[in-house]
Structure 1
Amino acid sequence: MIEKMGYEWRLRQIMAEHEMFQTSDLGPLLAERGVSLSREQVYRLVTQPPQRMSMGTLDALCDIFGCTPSDLIKPMVGNAQVKKTAGGESAPLPLKERRTTIRRPGQP
């Protein structure tokens, strides 16, 4: 097995630790730091792990909560299937090669 990396987005937990339970409370604090997000964007930021985020937003969140990026993002490790090599090391499963046949128009 090979370890596959993922992450846990901890913004909701950090907000709760600071007794902030409404996503609408976060918008004005972000705006004070120059980050303009819609109500819906703030809601998604709190409730879903972001696929991408600007450094300005990350910096503003760290400033608001007095934390570091590693407090907001907790790495998670999972397992994926791999093939064992002769030396005992693990290697990802290779792609299977497939022969192709070129057929010209009119040929079966």
Structure 2
Amino acid sequence: MQWNLRMRAAQAGIWKSTEMRRRLAEHGLEISAGKMSALWTGTPTTIRLDDLDVICVVLGCTPTDLLICEPDKVNARRPAQASTGAGPQPSPRLGRHTSVPPA
């Protein structure tokens, strides 16, 4: 995923993280300077959905405007398949209790 906060903020006329932080606070979301810096300069590893809602309201956008899918990166992470075309072999789940199939 690509985090697109700065571009969406620029489109909304917000050029500095301090301005974004102030607008978020006006909508009830108090963010520390450190957290705002992390959201502004990088891609967050996690974000609360409630926080995402407020960010979208402030920027007048939807989550799909902020989170851009990158399917090429997903394909690059996929392990190479054998030339036989067979997928990965499932491994047994040791130590787990299994239920009996219905009669």
Is the TM value for this pair above 0.5?
A: yes
* Structure 2, unaligned runs of 5 or more: 92-103
Q: Highest CA radius of gyration, 1 or 2?
A: 1
- Of all paired residues, the percent bearing the same amino acid is 28
Q: More strand per residue: 1 or 2?
A: 1
Seen in structure 2, the aligned counterparts of structure 1 residues 76 and 23 have a Cα distance that, compared at 3 Å, is same
Structural RMSD (CA)? 2.2
Structure 2: how far apart are the matches of 1:28 and 1:22? 10
Aligned length: 87
* Structure 1, unaligned runs of 5 or more: 1-6, 96-108
Q: Which has the higher contact order (CA 8 A, sep 6+)?
A: 1
Alignment check: 8 A CA contact 1:35 1:56 kept: no
Q: What does residue 101 of structure 1 align with?
A: none
TM-score by length of 1: 0.70
Structure 1: how far apart are the matches of 2:44 and 2:51? 11
Which 4+ residue blocks in structure 1 deviate beyond 2 angstroms? 91-95
- The one-letter code matched in structure 2 to 1:84 is A
1:28 maps to which of 4, 8, 22 = 22
